[in-house]
A and B are shown apart, each in its own frame.
Chain A
Amino acid sequence: MDVEPALVRACQRGEPGALDALIRATYTDVYALARRMLANPDDAADATQEVYIRVMRSVLGFRGESAFGTWLHRVTVNVCLTQLGKKARAREAGAIAASTPFAVPGDPRLERLAADEAGPEEYAERGDLAARCEAAVARLPEDARTVVVLRDIEGLSTKEVAELLDVSENVVKVRLSRAHARLRALVSDDDGLQEA
């Protein structure tokens, strides 16, 4: 997420069009990170909107101590973690089951749901390793997925991930190791590897 400091200053001064330019320059990266962390396109779109609400509220307070892209990255991760926390609490309370209406045949949500739930087996037929990995990452438990996305896909260091998640570096390493053991099982290619 590279953003010109001049563009950020223009947003802080309230110049017309500056916020639009900032959104256009960054929203694909924000959405991609949210999509990977939340593993759901609708949740990712909601999270992206929430990120820019926070940006609008806080851009004047941004003092440029770190790069704007780093700050935006952090805001996105925090919004996603908040959403994951809310979903976990809702699941515990059974609120999702109670609030999800039954879909009838022909409902476009059914199609979307089927697309979301395509697992590694379906992707194996397409022979696309990246797509299979993406599906496998989406199937990981939320804490494991968060670590894999931040460390392996976004390329943050273990220390940075630990700071973002407010846990120790050892916890990050343990979660990463368990997540990769699960990924190996999910992505394992039956042709050849089991015979190796």
Chain B
Amino acid sequence: MDDTQLPRFCRETRGQLLALMAGELSGWSERVVRRHLRRCSDCAAEFARQERVNDGLSQLKQQAPEPPPELLGDLLAQARQPGWRGRAAVPARGAVSGARPELSVAFLTLGALATTGVGWAAWKSSRAAARRIRSHAD
């Protein structure tokens, strides 16, 4: 039966089953829910099912699914031969995070040189443009 078709009290009780099992209900709420469970066989059966689900999930915690046998080999091969993104990303992250200070210095030096180069080229081209404008004006 769909929960929405249940009597209100049964619906509310079933909504509290998890909290009841987790010991999260206060004294009064717990007494109300437990009293209903004693009187309503459908809700008592639902509570028993919830206990089985909880038992099953607890057992599941202890039984981790086994990885396929080839997975470890694949992972180790991947670690030894990272793709170009991996190869580029590791030193870059190391430089940014400061874990590889020599790379940080190299990146900063390269950045400064590149910025200086771009600035010098822009200054030269603006001077050439100014000269052309002056020669046209003359």
Do the two chains bind?
yes
Are B56 and A130 touching (Cβ within 8 A)? yes
Are B86 and A56 touching (Cβ within 8 A)? yes
Select A36's contact among B41, B55, B65, B67, beta carbons within 8 Å.
Answer: B65
Select A153's contact among B18, B57, B67, B90, beta carbons within 8 Å.
Answer: B57
Chain B binding surface SS class: helix
Are A189 and B65 touching (Cβ within 8 A)? no
Are A177 and B96 touching (Cβ within 8 A)? no
Indicate with 1 or 0, residue by residue over B94-107, a CB within 8 angstroms of chain A CB atoms: 10110110000000
Chain A binding surface SS class: helix
**Given A61-B99, A176-B18, CB of A49 within 8 Å of CB of B41:** no
Which residues on A sit within 8 Å (CB–CB) of B99?
A: 12, 60-61
Cα–Cα distance between A53 and B79 once the two chains are bound (Å): 8
Interface-lining segment among A25-33, A87-95, A161-169: A25-33
Flag whether B48 is at the interface (Cβ < 8 A): yes
Number of interface residues of A (CB under 8 A): 49
Which residues on B sit within 8 Å (CB–CB) of A56?
A: 79, 82, 86, 89-90
Interface-lining segment among B28-36, B68-76, B119-127: B68-76
Are A180 and B50 touching (Cβ within 8 A)? yes
Interface residues on B, range: 35 or more
Which residues on A sit within 8 Å (CB–CB) of B46?
A: 184
Are B61 and A133 touching (Cβ within 8 A)? no
Name the distance in Å between B41's Cβ and chain A's nearest Cβ.
7
Which residues on B sit within 8 Å (CB–CB) of A183?
A: 53
Are B72 and A24 touching (Cβ within 8 A)? yes
Flag whether B5 is at the interface (Cβ < 8 A): no
Flag whether A187 is at the interface (Cβ < 8 A): yes
The residue on B at minimum CB distance from A45 is: B71
Which residues on B sit within 8 Å (CB–CB) of A48?
A: 67, 71, 75
Which residues on B sit within 8 Å (CB–CB) of A181?
A: 3, 14
Cα–Cα distance between A24 and B71 once the two chains are bound (Å): 11
Flag whether B44 is at the interface (Cβ < 8 A): yes
Are B60 and A188 touching (Cβ within 8 A)? no
Flag whether A145 is at the interface (Cβ < 8 A): no
Flag whether A152 is at the interface (Cβ < 8 A): yes
Which residues on A sit within 8 Å (CB–CB) of B41?
A: 196
Select B67's contact among A45, A61, A129, A148, beta carbons within 8 Å.
Answer: A45
**Given A23-B76, A48-B75, A61-B96, CB of A35 within 8 Å of CB of B15:** no
**Given A57-B93, A60-B100, A129-B59, CB of A20 within 8 Å of CB of B17:** no
Nearest 6 interchain pairs by C-beta: A133-B56, A130-B59, A32-B64, A31-B67, A184-B49, A60-B94
